[in-house]
Amino acid sequence: MAKLAVIYGTGTGHTGEMAEQIDDGARSEGIETEVILLGNVTEDVPGGGRITSVDDALAIMDSADAVAIGSSTYEMKPVVFVEQLLEKAGSLDLSGKVGTAFGPYATRPKAVGIVIDAMKSWGMDVLEPGLQVSGAITGKIKQESRELGESIARALSGTK
């Protein structure tokens, strides 16, 4: 079964809301998924969930068939853990894997474009333009996020 890694960093939790919907959309199409919140260390979170270090996330990226990276934009860049992931991921052979990016922004949408450019430089088959949204995560944005997950699943299965 094909596997999608949904990896994200967040400042306010909005990116996590999008990640959950992408996960739901991909799973609804029969794709195995793993949702990863980037942090300093790999640890279980009380109440459920898991924070994963950048190095552990790289191993998950390497074993996945598709990768969706999410980040809000902070000071015109991705959040720090996503930025670290992008710096290190170039050492992996990600060519031919499906990739896309997603995330919210407050004033200027930059993070998604930075992630997309990195994925292209790694030789990934990138689903463009990804999904970047402004403001709170509404029902419409949740639906668009779910549809992005479905699109990733279809790209993995070779259907449109």
Give the pLDDT confidence of 35-76 residue by residue, as tens digits. 999 987 666 666 556 678 999 999 999 999 999 999 988 888
| Residue recorded with tokens 């430089």 | 121
Amino acid at 157: S
Number of helical (H) and strand (E) elements in the chain, helices listed first:
5, 10
Integer Cα distance of 146 and 15 in angstroms: 13
pLDDT band at 97 (very low <50, low <70, confident <90, very high): very high
pLDDT band at 135 (very low <50, low <70, confident <90, very high): confident
**Nearest to residue 150, comparing CAs of 8, 11, 15, 33?**
33
**Mean pLDDT calculated for residue range 136-152:** 95
Q: Quick one: tokens of 64? A: 């996945």
pLDDT value at position 153? 97
Considering the domain delimited by 3-157, tell me its CATH architecture: 3-Layer(aba) Sandwich (3.40)
pTM: 0.92
Phi, psi of 111 (to 5 degrees): -60, -45
pLDDT value at position 48? 58
Integer Cα distance of 159 and 49 in angstroms: 32
**For helices 54-63 and 80-89, angle between their N-to-C axes, nearest 10 degrees:** 50
pLDDT band at 136 (very low <50, low <70, confident <90, very high): confident
Query: Does residue 129 have a pLDDT over 90?
Result: yes
Higher pLDDT, 109 or 134: 134
